[in-house]
Amino acid sequence: MLRLHYNLEKLSMGMVVGIIVAASIGGAVEIAPLFTIDETVVAPDDLRPHTPLELAGREIFIREGCYACHSQMVRSLADEIDRYGPYSLAGESAWDHPMLWGSKRTGPDLARIGGKYSDAWHVAHLLDPRSVVPASIMPAYPWLTRSLDTRVLPGALATLAVLGVPYSEAMIDRAETDALAQSRPDSDAAEDVLARYGDAVALRSFDGDPSRLTELDALVAYLQSIGTLTAAAQEELEEAGK
């Protein structure tokens, strides 16, 4: 076999063909399962879509490259379950485009981060990581205090609706209003957010300043939602333990 490979390396066109064949086989193995994804990945009955504010935070999470250091996938290994919580189910990410499972863990996995820390902790961690985690190597993100641009939200929801996320016309039309209302629980529109997205949605000023809507509000709202959109993983883990 080594002799064959050695001889192939001396033939440039043969090497090119070999690379194409190998890449094609690898690509087919990765791509083929996607054609049956609708049958193999089923959204849990209680799964809710991200609110406009959480969705904006998710886009900021992607924009700032957070996914490069933090995975969102707890593997079905005892030590991971003990550290992070119930293992991840494919259905939890059925409406994520793109999904952010990942495998790189410069920082801890975030699949069950929602509700683990207070909003104030997240704010401090994002603005000055070492103020709450002295050994942290995470960079600071002081620019997140700028105002959130909500104008893109209706279009973002409409695009996801085309991809199968159950955003209604009302959700799309009211996306900007709902994003602001989620950070202002005392506003008249706050109840409408709950009516559209469910009573489990958090209504509060995530950055502690209800006078303005910031990117920090959006990112903290997203972080607090991760792992809380469905109880399917916890229920499956409890069922497996019986």
Same-domain check for residues 204 and 224: yes
Q: What is the dihedral of CA 125, 131, 136, 141, to 10 degrees?
A: 40
Same-domain check for residues 17 and 76: no
CA distance linking residue 52 with residue 176, whole number of Å? 7
Same-domain check for residues 64 and 179: yes
Same-domain check for residues 60 and 129: yes
Domain count, the chain: 2
CATH of the domain at 214: 1.10.760.10
Share of the chain above pLDDT 90, in %: 76
Least confident piece of the model among 63-67, 175-179, 233-237: 233-237
CA distance linking residue 190 with residue 100, whole number of Å? 29
Same-domain check for residues 51 and 74: yes
Same-domain check for residues 34 and 98: no
* Longest CA pairwise span in the chain (Å): 76
What pLDDT does residue 39 have? 67
Task: Quick: pLDDT tens for 153-211.
Answer: 999 999 999 999 999 999 999 999 999 999 999 999 999 999 999 999 999 999 999 99
Same-domain check for residues 20 and 129: no
What's the chain's length in residues?
Answer: 242
Same-domain check for residues 13 and 67: no
Task: Quick: pLDDT tens for 17-33.
Answer: 888 888 889 888 877 76
- For 60, how many CA atoms within 13 A lie in the half-sphere containing its CB? 27
Same-domain check for residues 35 and 148: no
Same-domain check for residues 31 and 51: no
**pLDDT of residue 242 exceeding 60:** no
Average of per-residue pLDDT across 37-49 = 83
Peptide bond into 98 cis (omega under 30): yes
Task: Quick: pLDDT tens for 114-123.
Answer: 999 999 999 9
Average of per-residue pLDDT across 76-88 = 92
What pLDDT does residue 74 have? 95
Same-domain check for residues 131 and 21: no
**pLDDT of residue 220 exceeding 70:** yes
CA distance linking residue 85 with residue 99, whole number of Å? 19
What pLDDT does residue 236 have? 83
pLDDT grade, residue 110 (50/70/90)? very high
Domain hosting residue 10, numbered range: 2-39
Using an 8 Å Cβ cutoff, are 95 and 58 in contact? Answer: no
Using an 8 Å Cβ cutoff, are 176 and 165 in contact? Answer: no
Task: Quick: pLDDT tens for 126-155.
Answer: 999 999 999 999 999 999 999 999 999 999
- Torsion sign across C-alpha atoms 135, 69, 214, 95: negative
**pLDDT of residue 37 exceeding 70:** no
What pLDDT does residue 237 have? 78
Burial bucket for residue 124 (CB in 10 Å: 0-12, 13-18, 19+): middle
Average pLDDT score, the chain: 91
Same-domain check for residues 33 and 59: no
